[in-house]
């Protein structure tokens, strides 16, 4: 299996004096993915070869039981407040290869 490298996940802060969107019991944070540039064998990975990103998350870093697919580099993560969430991203290329998990981001809403 060909493994993709260098998937990073970043939180994107609010600009200026804006406050994050907050609804009672729910909070939304915008997250940004840095697309990988190479396969693990050093072959260049072109942006058009990326099919989508798989975002996995859960309340335990060893059990990321929820997931969904995103196609862009920015996505909103909306979940209930008062819970700590652990989030990782994997790149899926057009050939079906899936990368290793990104670094884990901890979101404490």
The tens digit of pLDDT for each residue in 19-68 reads 444 445 778 888 888 888 888 788 898 989 999 999 999 999 999 999 99
Measured between alpha carbons, how far is residue 71 from residues 15, 16, 18, 80 in Å?
23, 27, 26, 24
For the chain, which residues make up each domain, given as ranges?
8-108
What pLDDT does 26 receive? 79
Residue 106 token pair: 């901890």
CA pair distance 78, 97, nearest whole angstrom: 28
CA pair distance 96, 73, nearest whole angstrom: 19
Architecture of the domain whose range is 8-108: Sandwich (2.60)
For the whole model, what pTM was predicted?
Answer: 0.74
What pLDDT does 60 receive? 94
């Amino acid at each position: 299996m060909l493994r993709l490298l260098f998937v990073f996940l970043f939180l994107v802060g609010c600009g200026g004096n804006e406050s994050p969107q907050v609804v009672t019991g729910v909070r939304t944070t915008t997250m940004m993915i840095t697309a990988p540039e190479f396969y693990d064998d050093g072959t260049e990975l072109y942006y058009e070869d990326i099919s989508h990103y798989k975002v996995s998350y859960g309340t335990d870093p060893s059990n990321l039981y929820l997931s969904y697919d995103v196609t862009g580099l920015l996505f909103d993560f909306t979940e209930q407040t008062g819970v700590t969430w652990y989030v990782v991203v994997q790149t899926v290329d057009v050939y079906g290869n899936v990368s290793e998990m990104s670094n884990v981001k901890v979101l404490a809403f």
